[in-house]
């Protein structure tokens, strides 16, 4: 079946709640140097909690386009002139700000419009002013989950004439007490991938009966890695930037959830790594996956291998491997959308022992006629 992967309008950018810091005007500000203020739902490493694109995140790429005075991006983008062409932006420890290696300055008249993606090294980027389209090619989701990166893209921050407010704090700053970089262009990143997480528990009655399980492996099978894919982002404005398309999916691959807590762990009597009656913490690392428009019978499956134990003495009582199509799990989640986190809660149960008593009916042992003689004596 032909597969088409579409990133739907799913990313919700959470802005870090912060108070503006009105710092004194510095030589850095007077020079009208272009700097950047980044915000993202998750950092572009393995997915982590929080909303800040912190100083230890990867360098990102930026395009900037110049328009003359009295022109706007929405009306005149086709006439814009390239000003920054896929420039790498990294964290400057000295200035405590996100800035390119070569200094760029604000024009005296006219405006600049910016669009960005992250990580810079993750893909080859191109931007077309005429259509407001950002294209990323050559990105591959790593099948080694610990090496995956969270691919991000931004909407166009249009018609800027100066650095915007930027509050330096411990979340995205390294030297906040000495920071000069108190201003920057706002870059609001969105996620291009979906996040998949697994949790598990033992069915209540099974656990109460003194039995439990250990997860050995969880593997998502036949999922796209999207080698040589293209993300097309019609980014006229923030609202329009949520429509992206994935093309040219690579031959599917398997993604094994890695965990030091569950797979191949030594199990002793009463060990904490038995699954209890409440859902576990996420098992292993979250998976970053190519979005799927709609699950079908040939789309990704999940394989779970688990072992049964008697909790009183940690007696292993066999293992089982089960493979399920995501399409068959539940119709509540029927796709993977960009920027969304999906948690699959696994409940592992056993077949109960019941009895079906029957009785073997009496078997006919035969009959025999007996003549009793009339002269019989007692």
Euclidean distance between CA atoms 10 and 129, whole angstroms = 25
Can you name the residues that pair with 377 across neighbouring β-strands?
none
Question: Would you say 29 and 179 are in contact if contact means Cβ atoms under 8 Å apart?
Answer: no
Q: What local confidence, expressed as pLDDT, does residue 308 receive?
A: 93
Indicate the helix (H) or strand (E) that contains 165. strand 164-165
Euclidean distance between CA atoms 144 and 35, whole angstroms = 34
Residue range 207-234: average pLDDT? Answer: 85
**Pick the residue with more confidence: 359 or 298?**
359
How far apart, in Å, are the Cα atoms of 225 and each of 13, 220, 222, 251, 314?
A: 25, 12, 9, 7, 39
Question: Hey, is 112 helix, strand or coil?
Answer: strand
Can you name the residues that pair with 307 across neighbouring β-strands?
214, 319
Most confident range (mean pLDDT) of 21-35, 65-79, 210-224 is 65-79
Euclidean distance between CA atoms 99 and 34, whole angstroms = 7
Which of 340, 128, 341, 83 is closest to 230 using CA atoms?
A: 128
**Pick the residue with more confidence: 258 or 361?**
361
Q: What local confidence, expressed as pLDDT, does residue 51 receive?
A: 60
pLDDT at residue 329 greater than cutoff 90:
no
Can you name the residues that pair with 67 across neighbouring β-strands?
111
The CATH 2.60.40 portion of the chain extends over 194-348
Q: What local confidence, expressed as pLDDT, does residue 238 receive?
A: 52
The pLDDT-based confidence of 2 (bands split at 50, 70, 90) is very low
Token pair belonging to 93: 């420890």
Residue range 344-364: average pLDDT? Answer: 93
**From 42-56, 140-154, 206-220, the region with the lowest mean pLDDT:** 42-56
The pLDDT-based confidence of 335 (bands split at 50, 70, 90) is confident
The DSSP secondary-structure symbol of 121 reads G
Which of 301, 292, 360, 365 is closest to 329 using CA atoms?
A: 301
Indicate the helix (H) or strand (E) that contains 157. strand 157-160
Size (the chain), residues? 378
pLDDT at residue 326 greater than cutoff 70:
yes
Question: Would you say 196 and 286 are in contact if contact means Cβ atoms under 8 Å apart?
Answer: yes
pLDDT at residue 311 greater than cutoff 60:
yes
CATH for 194-348, among 2.40.50, 1.10.10, 2.60.40, 2.60.120? 2.60.40
Q: What local confidence, expressed as pLDDT, does residue 4 receive?
A: 30
**Pick the residue with more confidence: 86 or 173?**
86
Q: What percent of the chain has pLDDT over 90?
A: 36
Q: What local confidence, expressed as pLDDT, does residue 377 receive?
A: 66
If one counts every other C-beta atom within 10 angstroms of the C-beta of residue 204, the result is 13
Condensed to tens digits (0 to 9), the pLDDT of residues 66-97 reads 999 999 999 999 999 999 999 999 988 877 78
Q: What local confidence, expressed as pLDDT, does residue 72 receive?
A: 95
Euclidean distance between CA atoms 51 and 67, whole angstroms = 32
- Say if strands 253-256 and 315-325 run parallel, antiparallel, or are unpaired: unpaired
Runs of H (alpha helix) within the chain? 27-30, 73-76, 204-208, 326-329
Q: What percent of the chain has pLDDT over 70?
A: 73
**Pick the residue with more confidence: 319 or 95?**
319
Per-residue HEC secondary structure of 295-347 comes to: CCCCCCEEEEEEEEEECCCCEEEEEEEEEEEHHHHCCCCCCECCCCEEEEEEE
Residue range 349-371: average pLDDT? Answer: 93
Q: What local confidence, expressed as pLDDT, does residue 376 receive?
A: 63
**Pick the residue with more confidence: 330 or 338?**
338
Residue for token digits 């003495």? 313
Residue range 304-332: average pLDDT? Answer: 88
pLDDT at residue 140 greater than cutoff 70:
yes
> Counting Cβ atoms within 10 Å, is residue 356 exposed (0-12), middle (13-18) or buried (19+)?
exposed
Euclidean distance between CA atoms 142 and 200, whole angstroms = 25
């Amino acid at each position: 079946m032909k597969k088409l992967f579409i990133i739907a309008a799913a990313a919700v950018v959470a802005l870090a709640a912060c108070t503006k810091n009105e710092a004194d005007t510095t030589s850095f500000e007077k020079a009208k140097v272009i700097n950047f203020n980044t915000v993202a739902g998750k950092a572009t490493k393995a997915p982590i909690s929080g909303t800040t694109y912190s100083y230890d995140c990867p360098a990102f790429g930026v395009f900037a386009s110049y328009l003359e005075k009295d022109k706007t991006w929405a009306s005149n983008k086709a006439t814009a002139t390239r000003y920054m062409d896929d420039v790498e932006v990294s964290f400057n420890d000295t200035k405590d700000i996100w800035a390119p290696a070569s200094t760029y300055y604000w024009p005296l008249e006219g405006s600049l419009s910016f669009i960005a993606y992250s990580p810079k090294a993750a893909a080859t980027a191109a931007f077309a002013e005429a259509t407001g389209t950002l294209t990323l090619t050559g990105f591959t989701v790593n099948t080694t989950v610990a090496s995956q990166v969270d691919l991000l893209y931004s909407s166009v921050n249009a018609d800027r004439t100066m650095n915007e407010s930027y509050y330096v704090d411990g979340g995205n700053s390294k030297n906040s007490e000495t920071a000069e970089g108190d201003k920057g262009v706002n870059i609001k990143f969105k996620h291009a991938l979906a996040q998949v997480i697994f949790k598990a528990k033992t069915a209540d009655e099974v656990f109460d009966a003194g039995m439990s399980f250990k997860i050995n492996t969880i593997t998502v099978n036949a999922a796209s890695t999207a080698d040589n894919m293209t993300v097309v982002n019609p980014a006229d404005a923030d609202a329009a930037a949520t429509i992206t398309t994935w093309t040219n999916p690579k031959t599917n691959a398997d993604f094994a959830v890695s965990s030091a807590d569950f797979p191949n762990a030594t199990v002793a009597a009463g060990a904490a790594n038995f699954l209890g009656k409440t859902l576990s913490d996420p098992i292993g690392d979250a998976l970053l996956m190519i979005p799927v428009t709609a699950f079908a019978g040939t789309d990704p499956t999940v394989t779970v291998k688990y072992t049964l134990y008697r909790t009183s003495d940690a007696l292993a009582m066999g293992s089982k491997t089960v493979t399920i199509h995501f399409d068959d799990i539940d119709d509540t989640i029927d796709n993977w959308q960009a920027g969304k986190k999906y948690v699959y809660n696994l409940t592992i149960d056993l077949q109960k022992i019941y009895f079906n008593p029957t009785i073997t009916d009496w078997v006919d042992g035969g009959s025999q006629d007996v003549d009793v003689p009339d002269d019989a004596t007692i």
